[in-house]
Amino acid sequence: MTDDDLRDPEMDALFGRLKAPAPPLHPPAIVVPLYRRRWIQGAALAAALLLSVVGARQLQEPLVTARGAGAADGAAAPTVELRLVVERDGEAKRLAQRELCAVGEVVYFRVAASEAAALSVEGPSGIEAIAAVDASDGVADVSGPDGLVGYRFDEPGPHTFILISGPSVHRWTVDVTTN
């Protein structure tokens, strides 16, 4: 039996009709409706604008690091953190940024600094030094020879507590009201 004996002209004609057309030489272009193209163009324009604003801001404001004199040899930046606690009804309550306090309340301070630090307050009556802090061994409550150092609010308005340790500055603002 030969290959010619196995061929059936009707079957060959049937298989010839079932063959798919040859694929195109170039794939078809992706058609994006006009309203989607404008949305994509707008998103790309907004992203470019955002990147240019961020880049311009970084060029205008130089990057300030708090590495101090050891920056060249890879020394770690000094750490500075300030926490405020107010005494209310005989209990200590930790304050959040811009939290309300009343005139007459007393705040106490907890400081974390890797170097010696100075604590001051800027209020409606000006800037006032509160204490020099040595928290080089980690976290410390600000205290003096008579115990904990506190600050009593005597005027309403914003009070910003400033902790400076070397080149690092930490600010904490509390809003004080009359009641």
For position 158, what pLDDT does the model report? 93
55 and 82 in a single domain? The answer is: no
Cα–Cα dist 76/11, whole Å: 82
pLDDT in tens, the chain (179 residues): 565 556 677 767 776 666 666 666 666 666 666 666 676 777 777 777 776 766 655 555 444 444 444 444 455 556 778 889 998 888 889 988 888 999 989 898 888 877 788 888 998 888 898 888 876 667 778 888 888 888 889 999 999 998 888 788 888 899 999 87
Residue 107: φ, ψ to 5°: -105, 150
- Going by the DSSP 8-state scheme, the letter that residue 90 receives in this structure is T
The number of domains in the chain is 2
- 16 in a domain, yes or no? yes
CA distances from 159 to 54, 108, 121, 134, 164 (A): 31, 14, 7, 23, 16
Residue 139 corresponds to which tokens in the numbers above? 């976290």
Q: Which of 164, 158, 85 is nearest to 120 (CA)?
A: 164
Q: Do 17 and 52 reside in the same domain of the chain? A: yes
> Which tokens belong to 40?
């994509």
Q: Phi, psi at residue 54, to the nearest 5°? A: -65, -45
Q: Which amino acid is at 63?
A: L
In a domain, 83, yes or no: yes
**Does residue 53 sit in the same domain as residue 88?**
no
Q: Are residues 90 and 169 in the same domain?
A: yes
The enclosing domain of 84 has a CATH number of 2.60.40.3020
Range of the domain at 88: 78-177
Same domain, 114 and 41: no
* 74 φψ region: left (φ > 0), alpha (ψ -120 to 50), beta (else): left
Same-domain check for residues 21 and 100: no
- Same structural domain, 106 and 49: no
